[in-house]
Amino acid sequence: MSRVGGSGAPPAPLQDYEVAGKVMLLGDSGVGKTCFLLQFRDGAFLSGTFIATVGIDFRNKVVAVDGVKVKLQIWDTAGQERFRSVTHAYYRDAQALLLLYDITSKMSFDNIRAWLTEIHEYAQKDVVIMLLGNKADVSSERAVRTEDGASLAREYGVPFMETSAKTGMNVELAFLAIAKELKQRALQPPDEPRFQIHDYIEAQQKKSGCCAFA
């Protein structure tokens, strides 16, 4: 995460943001990472043929958080095992990790513990992690109970939400919560109360009439 400019620094006309941070999307192949990113960036869902990501790719999006522009550089990683060594190299620079499983795939949920072990091995100690149960729109094929997602998240002390890259459910909220956390880390004076990502997600979900599991 970086703060752009600073007191006395000349304005940077090409950088239309004040805070920047790297966010990585992680999780098994097919859980919906690419769709999640495209839903956030373009508000679109590409249904149909599944084309697995090869290696790693990134997109930028600037979001306004309480009047501050935060640039999220979002890295979409390949979930397939054979690309893992490529993605490990990118963990160290990431300030935030969105870890996805597919609520219709028990295996993708069971693999979350292995993902968290990998994260603890390769990522920065203070990285922000969020657990997301994606494809919540396919409730007829649900294989992972919401309570089980929430309970795993509690065990690891990370915030949790169910999402849908198809309908857009909680997609923006996930990135906005990350942007708020990055903004507070970069700009907030130490004597002010800290932004609490768990509380924020819980409050937003209550507001929208949805489930709060943070």
Ligand X SMILES: Nc1nc2c(ncn2[C@@H]2O[C@H](COP(=O)(O)OP(=O)(O)OP(=O)(O)O)[C@@H](O)[C@H]2O)c(=O)[nH]1
Nearest-angstrom CA–CA distance, 127 and 178: 11
Residue 80 vs 196, nearer CB to ligand X:
80
53 binding ligand X? (CB under 6 A): yes
- Single residue of 21, 32, 133, 149 touching ligand X by CB under 6 A: 32
- Single residue of 22, 71, 135, 183 touching ligand X by CB under 6 A: 135
Nearest-approach distance from CB 9 to ligand X, in angstroms: 38
Q: Which residue is it, tokens 């599944």?
A: 50
Beta carbons of 197 and 144 less than 8 angstroms apart:
no
H-run or E-run covering 150:
helix 146-156
56 binding ligand X? (CB under 6 A): no
Beta carbons of 104 and 136 less than 8 angstroms apart:
no
Beta carbons of 100 and 27 less than 8 angstroms apart:
yes
Question: Cβ neighbours of residue 68 under 8 Å, at least 6 residues apart?
Answer: 18, 19, 183, 187
Nearest-approach distance from CB 42 to ligand X, in angstroms: 13
134 binding ligand X? (CB under 6 A): yes
Question: Cβ neighbours of residue 61 under 8 Å, at least 6 residues apart?
Answer: 40, 41, 71, 72, 74, 175
26 binding ligand X? (CB under 6 A): no
- Single residue of 63, 152, 158, 165 touching ligand X by CB under 6 A: 165
- Single residue of 47, 81, 157, 190 touching ligand X by CB under 6 A: 47
Judged by CB under 6 A, how many residues of this single chain contact ligand X? 21
35 binding ligand X? (CB under 6 A): yes
Per DSSP, the three-state class of 37 is helix
CA dihedral 178, 93, 97, 198 (to 10 degrees): -40
- Single residue of 12, 44, 52, 114 touching ligand X by CB under 6 A: 52
Nearest-approach distance from CB 4 to ligand X, in angstroms: 30
Residue 98 vs 165, nearer CB to ligand X:
165
Residue 34 vs 204, nearer CB to ligand X:
34
2 binding ligand X? (CB under 6 A): no
Q: Which residue is it, tokens 């508000």?
A: 43
Read off φ and ψ for residue 157, nearest 5 degrees.
Answer: 70, 35
23 binding ligand X? (CB under 6 A): no
Residues that bind ligand X (CB under 6 A): 29-35, 47, 50, 52-53, 78-80, 134-135, 137-138, 164-166
